[in-house]
Amino acid sequence: MAEYSTSALNKVVRGPKRASYDVGTINTILDDAFLCHVGYVYKNQAIVIPMAYARKDDKIYLHGSLKNRMMLSLLEAGEASISVTHLDGLVLARSAFHHSANYRSVNVFGKVKKVEDPEEKMKALEYILNHMVPGHWDNVRQPNEKEFKGTLVLEINIETASAKIRAEGVNDEPGDLDLPIWAGVIPIKQVAFDAISDDDLQKDIKVPNAVLNYVTNNKK
């Protein structure tokens, strides 16, 4: 199994037993999310914002306007750090100290470049939309010339990454196990509800299969 080599940049220091550098594990965590958090520096101020993204092979794609300060700052820096986290459960211990959460998280580090080739750029936009709802790109009006030219697409080549995963129960102190206090885990999952059609939808337009499939696959 392929793994990312560890360095001072991606090595998990706290809780190293929960770390994974396995490429397949990291890609699965990335593919199971749609929003990432991107860190950048703007006028000597560290800022983190959520962004839609898509992964294709060893590349992450982001998109924004031509004047987006985050996108321009990433281009200027030439490198990026991206974080993705899934909250899978609340771990409620007997003691306040040992309350925790079950989660799957990934930190990605890579070089940034602007996607210049029009065909590659359009494909990246397709990846991002289909990462939201698989197969939905074919159901929508694709970007016109003005929209396309006004959109900046960045490619982040994943040079290294690490995952950290907690998937376990309560870890209380042995001396607390006999306390008359409830302890356990509340599982958490993001779910989808039935799609709500737009009020201005023309008559006889049905919900696309891609949307129906997404709802069905994410209801439970």
- Residue 1 banded pLDDT, cuts 50, 70, 90: low
What pTM did the predictor assign?
A: 0.91
pLDDT in tens, 96-152: 999 999 999 999 999 999 999 999 999 999 999 999 999 999 999 999 999 999 999
Distances (CA, A) of 58 to 24, 26, 33, 108, 157: 11, 11, 16, 10, 6
- Residue 220 banded pLDDT, cuts 50, 70, 90: confident
Fold of 16-188: Pnp Oxidase; Chain A (2.30.110)
Residue 31 — φ and ψ, nearest 5°? -75, -20
Report CA 183 to chain centroid distance, whole Å: 30
- The stretch 63-92 carries a mean pLDDT of 95
Enumerate the CATH 2.30.110.10 domain ranges in the chain, comma separated.
16-188
Structure tokens at 69: 């300060």
Distance between CA atoms of residues 145 and 22, nearest Å: 40
Structure tokens at 11: 């090595």
Based on its alpha-carbon atoms, the radius of gyration of the chain, rounded to whole angstroms, reads: 21
